[in-house]
Amino acid sequence: MEDGSDGPTRSIVDTAREGSGIATAYLALDRLVSLYELDDAAAVVDVPGLGRQVLHAGRRPLRELARELVDAEPGLYLQPPLEDPVVTELVLAVSALGLRCDARPPRTA
């Protein structure tokens, strides 16, 4: 089977291997914005230990978006909307997993 991944996808994988979970989550969100030429993107996820969390593409402040997103249900909020349940599920999974991994207390020897 051919490797269908392109450069940017590998970059997310590299970040997942070597970087932090939160950096991986943001990179996935930013790739989504770039790939689909979106105006904006935010992921709302529930994370054990952290509760409801909002990630905004580019690590940018929410500003006026906070009114909409601080109380929002978990989901992927895109502008303009993109109807792709697989992409939505994957980005939300990476976001939740990245934050959950980072939120864990460091292992002690």
Nearer to another protein among residue 86 and residue 96 (C-beta):
96
Nearer to another protein among residue 33 and residue 84 (C-beta):
33
Cβ–Cβ under 8 Å, residues 32 and 40: no
**Minimum Å distance from CB 2 to another protein?**
32
Residue ranges that bind another protein, judged by CB under 8 A: 19-20, 22-23, 49-56, 59-63, 66-67, 69-71, 99, 102-103
Residue in 5, 74, 9, 83 with CA at minimum distance from that of residue 43: 74
75 Rama sector, left if φ>0, alpha if ψ -120 to 50, beta otherwise: left
**Minimum Å distance from CB 39 to another protein?**
9
How far apart are the C-alpha atoms of 33 and 37, rounded to whole Å?
A: 5
**Minimum Å distance from CB 60 to another protein?**
5
